[in-house]
Structure 1
Amino acid sequence: MTAIHNYRQALAYIQRYPAYTPGQTGNWSLERLRGLLARLGSPEKKFLSLLIAGTKGKGSTAAISESILRSARYQTGLYTSPYLHSFRESIRLGGDPIAEVEFLNVLRELRSYFETTAGLTAFELTTALALFTFAHMGVDIAVLEVGLGGRLDATNVVTPTVAVITPISYDHIQVLGPTLTAIATEKAGIIRNDAVVISAPQVDEARQVIEQVCFERQAKLILVDRDWQWQAGPSALDGQTFTICDQLYHLPLLGHHQITNAVTALAALAGLRERAGVQISNQAIADGLASVTWPGRLELLQQRPYVILDSAMNGDSAEKLADALVHYFGPRPITFIFGASHDHAVVDMLKALLPLSERMIMTASAHRRAEQPEKLVVMADELGYTADSAPNPATALDQALAAATDDAIICVAGSLFLVAEVREAWLRRNGLKLPPLDPKDLY
């Protein structure tokens, strides 16, 4: 057995495991991971948990929930994917990425268990590692973002204290199915018998699936748009306000959809209070909302010219991005830096963004699933628009900034992997400290 001496070797070790997704095999189940966790002492049973599925907004909802719980002085764990810059961002303790030494120690401790679990995938490995770490470090409450789907996702080995489903739309149709009913059925797979379930606002087709599953499993369903009332307040480039339960809150995240994510998080925390007695004061809510950070989601990097990053990666999220850009900047022409994974709804995204564009620069991240820029140019042409191309995100940023006036708007969208590379290039350009950087395709 080759020793793992450092963090880089640990990442290389994870990359040895296959990056399978549930749609790639006909007999996928969670029994392999359940068996592994049983041998580890069932760490997933040693803390309360929020399990968050959905197509968009699940990461933001998870980040908001964790920030509020931390402000309420609970020991928190946060498990999200994919990560922006460093794998360690995926596993957070008390809001901070897991330390390299802690990650190494846990991986070494669990390695023999991993290597005696036949067919283990990289995402199953990292999920087991996260759950074990949370239990080992004495986490009170873990907030877990589903990786893909829900029913067969590795995170679904947890029996959540509260299950949350954020807005469902078309994505990963090759894996989850071609209809909203099929996709919603997979997402609703996180619902347990007699559970508390929080659903963000949904289109009718998805909502009906969630309602039916809750009825069949005798789960208590809270529909955020039916059971919670809130009022959006003023919104500017430094954040927005909203009122709920006669309390005014400030949220630094941009975009009206983030208020919906915040209310969904508040509903989930109310579910924790109902099921587990978790107490959170209004001050903790205010502090948690005001301090939440979630980079790469309508993130304003600079002004003069404006540079905005957003991880929109399907048609619905691209429409929300377009709405937000018009809200904050009015009907002004925008230079887009665009790149997407080949398995995402690229045409739907382009239909939402191209009408706002003055210039579209197509590029590709280094991720293995990135679509070739030349193909993206052809897609734009077929929609009646001309687009340029750049060989990589850093070059695309250079081109956009070189042509920009002080009042220009540059927006980066289409893929979190693209956003990460542009963010890193921008930090380098400005002589700012780079975060730890890891390969973007561990799983």
Structure 2
Amino acid sequence: MDYIEALRFLRDRAGYDRGFVANPFADEGIGLQRTAWLCAALGHPQQHYRSVHIAGTKGKGSTAAMLAAVLRTAGYRVGLYTSPHLHTLRERVQIDSQPIAPETFGQLMAELAAVDAALQAERPAWGPATAFELVTVLAFLAFARATVDVAVIEVGLGGRLDATNVILPDVAAITRIGYDHMAILGSTLDAIAREKAGIVKPGRPVVSSPQEPDAAAVIEAVARERAAPLWLGGREWQVEGSWQDFVFRCPGLELAGLAVALCGAHQVENAGVALATLPWLAEAGIAASEEAVRLGLASVSWPGRLEVLRERPLIVVDGAHNRESAQRLAQAVCEAFRWNRLWLVLGVLRDKEIERIVGALAPLANTCFAVEGFAPRAATAERLMEAWKSLVPGGEAKAFRSVSEALAEALARAASDDLVLVTGSLGMVAAAREALGIATSDPHEQEVLFG
């Protein structure tokens, strides 16, 4: 296969409205069995390197990026598997910060297609592997073929039944747990936490962010049941300070004067999770010096997370897509920036808590440019405007069919000391970056995947 043929093959396996993240509950866990079967048929590529497995509601991607940056700076060859992507599906599979090459992606998917055909012949009742399962196994295989030393693997959805959960990591990490994907993961914090804690493996250490009491209780219980050593944020490890100057402490280690290139108070907590995995990785033979920690955090890049795209007027993008991330974004914007007037360009997926997201952002602005059509699962602009008008009496709300149109009007009306904030989804972020010429996507790839 070439890359486009591989994408066509994946497109026919994509679900969840072409979001390329499978609902792991759709087939009662058979998807995890399919993934394990594919890995076994390929010689268990996920066992050929050290690994860290990261779950959580918010911050797991940033945490993964920070940890990968520190490990690369320490001299290791690092695989990074994350989702979703911004501009190309290949971003999900990175080796030493570079997305997998199109030709490599096509070659590996051709191998996987043959193995998947064998799976369907042997286990017809299981059905075909989903797009997310296939890309997950492709990542494992790519990392093994590239002889990475360590892989940082982000969970796609949940944890317990996610396709990534076939790995046996040297350490697991759980970032802050909140309310997201509730129709799938459950409507209570302890139910969601139980799914996230499903990545904890018997006897393998786990690091967690500070959590709400209900979530912490679940994580502690699961770790205890599985005899997994647990380091809980605020207890075994601590962080204090701002993203520009903070202190990290854990048993046997204290580092002061740290700074992370990703701004926002929440990124200090994410950095703490990443750093708390390092003593456990060192026990597995993957050690990072203090210099590597400092340089890695200071140089990490993770586009679309409180990212400044332009000055005067200031244009900031962030992929906040649930109530907690919107609340953190509102706090971080106030901490990091100053402006005269804020223009909000907002687009949200229809299965999200739209009213709560709007409620978190409403105090920042009195004008909302509501965007629809930026993704297959996008909510209508009308729904966003209804939520906005109910929370901002007398505020302005206007509908747009594209991010580029909304951004153009915001820039036309904004003064040089204003701030234009684009948020609600990583799809919004990607479209804004492309509209400003900062990045491009392959139109052929988009056409193949989404029509």
Residues of 1 paired with 2:449 and 2:55: CA distance? Answer: 21
1:177 equivalent among 183, 186, 195 = 186
Match of 1:104 in 2: 106
Match of 1:77 in 2: 79
Match of 1:11 in 2: 7
Select between 223-232 and 55-64 the one with higher mean Cα deviation: 223-232
Contact 2:404/2:431 (8 A) holds in 1: yes
Match of 2:313 in 1: 305
Q: How far has the Cα of 1:117 moved from its partner?
A: 2.7
Q: Does 1:434 align with 2:440?
A: yes
Gaps of 5+ in 2: 16-21, 121-127, 249-253
Contact 1:367/1:441 (8 A) holds in 2: no
Contact 2:7/2:448 (8 A) holds in 1: no
Distance 1:380 1:24, change over 3 A: farther
The alignment partner of 1:316 has SS state of helix
Write out per-residue CA displacement over residues 413-439 of structure 1, whole angstroms, 9 at most, x where no aligned residue: 111111111111011xxxx56365643
Number of matched pairs: 429
Write out per-residue CA displacement over residues 162-200 of structure 1, whole angstroms, 9 at most, x where no aligned residue: 000000000000100111111000000000111100001
Q: Does 1:148 align with 2:157?
A: yes
Distance 1:403 1:8, change over 3 A: same
Q: How far has the Cα of 1:294 moved from its partner?
A: 0.3
Contact 1:192/1:219 (8 A) holds in 2: yes
The alignment partner of 2:433 has SS state of helix
Write out per-residue CA displacement over residues 215-250 of structure 1, whole angstroms, 9 at most, x where no aligned residue: 1111100012212233314x6xxxx23233243222
Q: Does 1:367 align with 2:381?
A: no
Q: How far has the Cα of 1:291 moved from its partner?
A: 1.3
Residues of 1 paired with 2:39 and 2:295: CA distance? Answer: 35
Residues of 1 paired with 2:28 and 2:441: CA distance? Answer: 39
Distance 1:27 1:211, change over 3 A: closer
Residues of 2 paired with 1:252 and 1:400: CA distance? Answer: 27
Contact 1:49/1:143 (8 A) holds in 2: yes
Contact 2:66/2:300 (8 A) holds in 1: yes
Q: How does 1:264-343 map to 2 (within 5 A)?
A: 264-274=273-283, 276-329=284-337, 332-343=340-351
Q: Does 1:135 align with 2:141?
A: no
Q: How does 1:228-247 map to 2 (within 5 A)?
A: 228-233=237-242, 240-244=244-248, 245-247=254-256
| TM-score using structure 2 length | 0.91
Residues of 1 paired with 2:119 and 2:326: CA distance? Answer: 40
Amino acid aligned to 2:293: I
Q: Does 1:121 align with 2:130?
A: yes
CA RMSD of aligned residues (A): 1.8
The alignment partner of 1:251 has SS state of coil
Residues of 2 paired with 1:189 and 1:197: CA distance? Answer: 11
| TM-score using structure 1 length | 0.93
Select between 383-392 and 93-102 the one with higher mean Cα deviation: 383-392
Q: How far has the Cα of 1:332 moved from its partner?
A: 4.8
Residues of 1 paired with 2:313 and 2:150: CA distance? Answer: 41
Match of 1:261 in 2: 270
Match of 1:216 in 2: 225
Amino acid aligned to 1:135: A
Contact 2:308/2:316 (8 A) holds in 1: yes
Residues of 2 paired with 1:151 and 1:359: CA distance? Answer: 41
Residues of 2 paired with 1:87 and 1:178: CA distance? Answer: 30
Q: How far has the Cα of 1:279 moved from its partner?
A: 1.4
Amino acid aligned to 2:305: R
The alignment partner of 1:22 has SS state of coil
The alignment partner of 2:203 has SS state of coil
Residues of 2 paired with 1:383 and 1:397: CA distance? Answer: 23
Q: How far has the Cα of 1:442 moved from its partner?
A: 5.3
Match of 1:358 in 2: 366
The alignment partner of 2:328 has SS state of helix
Q: How far has the Cα of 1:23 moved from its partner?
A: 3.2
Residues of 2 paired with 1:329 and 1:291: CA distance? Answer: 21
2:412 equivalent among 394, 402, 418 = 402
Q: How far has the Cα of 1:14 moved from its partner?
A: 1.1
Q: How far has the Cα of 1:58 moved from its partner?
A: 0.2
Select between 318-327 and 240-249 the one with higher mean Cα deviation: 240-249
Residues of 2 paired with 1:335 and 1:112: CA distance? Answer: 50
Q: How does 1:370-389 map to 2 (within 5 A)?
A: 370-385=378-393, 386=395, 387-389=397-399
Write out per-residue CA displacement over residues 37-77 of structure 1, whole angstroms, 9 at most, x where no aligned residue: 11111111111110000000000000000011011111110
Residues of 1 paired with 2:307 and 2:434: CA distance? Answer: 13
Distance 1:38 1:131, change over 3 A: same
Distance 1:27 1:39, change over 3 A: closer
Q: Does 1:416 align with 2:426?
A: yes
Contact 2:340/2:417 (8 A) holds in 1: no
The alignment partner of 1:313 has SS state of coil
Distance 1:232 1:312, change over 3 A: same
Gaps of 5+ in 1: none
Amino acid aligned to 2:378: A
Residues of 2 paired with 1:329 and 1:440: CA distance? Answer: 37
Contact 1:78/1:92 (8 A) holds in 2: yes
